[in-house]
Amino acid sequence: MEERNEQVVEEVKEAQVEEAVTPENSEKAVEEKSEAALLQEKVDELQAKLTETEGRTLRLQADFENYKRRVQMDKQAAEKYRAQSLVSDILPALDNFERAMQVEATDEQTKSLLQGMEMVHRQLLEALTKEGVEVIEAVGKQFDPNEHQAIMQVEDSEFESNAVVEEFQKGYKLKDRVIRPSMVKVNQ
């Protein structure tokens, strides 16, 4: 279409050059010039619309690519952290296992029961480890508010300042995301 418009403009210009300017055809020349000017305006207008449409198309393509990338990232995150709610639900049971295993065995029956609980506890930990769950190390480490929740402070010369002195509840991470922070006592 653009080529057609350019041809029309060129033909009009050639026709103007070929005709001699005389009083009779000067009116005709003015009409043709104004017609050529109108055609040129129309060509310029159409080119502006084309440029605008091309820009809009490029923006839409970029938006669509960004959308696809976001969906892919969301899908990967959902796959990576799919076990998060299950892990969150299992952690209290794991804590109870650990508390129950702290009981001192006084007879053979209790010792046997504790051995069975230790086996189940170990299997639970192995299954969680396969899913990417890690225990957050706390005691002796520097306090990190992203991984630890300070519930007490104490002054102890055996530990550095801002070091974790005691852990009250274990913290866990799923891959690189903290599921539950460690509840700790921190040295001042």
Q: Write down the mean pLDDT value for the chain.
A: 84
User: Edge-to-edge, what's the strand order for the sheet holding 148-154?
Assistant: 148-154, 182-187, 164-169
Read off the pLDDT of residues 36-87 as tens digits, 9 standing for 90 and up.
888 999 999 999 999 999 999 999 999 999 999 999 999 988 887 888 888 8
* pLDDT classification of 4: cutoffs 50, 70, 90: low
Phi-psi sector, 34: left (phi>0), alpha (psi -120 to 50), beta: alpha
Q: Are 158 and 129 members of one domain?
A: yes
- Whole domain around residue 76: which residue ranges? 2-80
User: What is the domain count for the chain?
Assistant: 2
Contact 139, 167 (CB under 8 A): yes
CATH number of the domain at 152, please. 2.30.22.10
Give the β-pairing of 164-169 and 133-136: unpaired
Interacting residues of 166 by C-beta distance below 8 A, sequence separation 6+: 139, 152, 184, 185
Answer with the one of 65, 80, 95 that is the final residue of a domain: 80
Q: Are 123 and 31 members of one domain?
A: no
Q: Are 91 and 60 members of one domain?
A: no
pLDDT at 16: 54
Give the β-pairing of 133-136 and 171-174: antiparallel
Alpha helices, H only, the chain: 2-18, 23-80, 84-100, 108-130
Please name which of 78, 79, 84 lies closest in space to residue 172, comparing C-alpha atoms.
Answer: 84
Chain centroid to CA 67: 11
Instruction: Report angle CA 72, 146, 166 to the nearest 5 degrees.
Output: 140
Read off the pLDDT of residues 142-164 as tens digits, 9 standing for 90 and up.
999 999 999 999 888 888 888 99
